[in-house]
Amino acid sequence: MPERRVTVVAEVGLHARPAATFVRAAAKAPMAVTVARASGDGAPINGKSILQILALDVKQDETIVIRAEGEGSDAVLDELAGIAGSP
């Protein structure tokens, strides 16, 4: 399954505005999108759910793994990686 490992650089982590932007972009994708901690702590969560993204509680400088499979997944993953890895 295609994936991107991204270190979150935003000061607030993947919370509030960055999380909302991420979920809006993920929701446009025709395939399932999952997010997990690169450390392996916990199961992957639904990348299209704002509540699950917020509950993941990703802090600045933590690395996450974003996965998606299907036609166009590389473009979707690149866009999501840019959002999560952007300040």
- Residues serving a catalytic function are 15
Question: Which pair of tokens denotes residue 12?
Answer: 């607030």
Q: What is residue 82's three-state secondary structure? A: helix
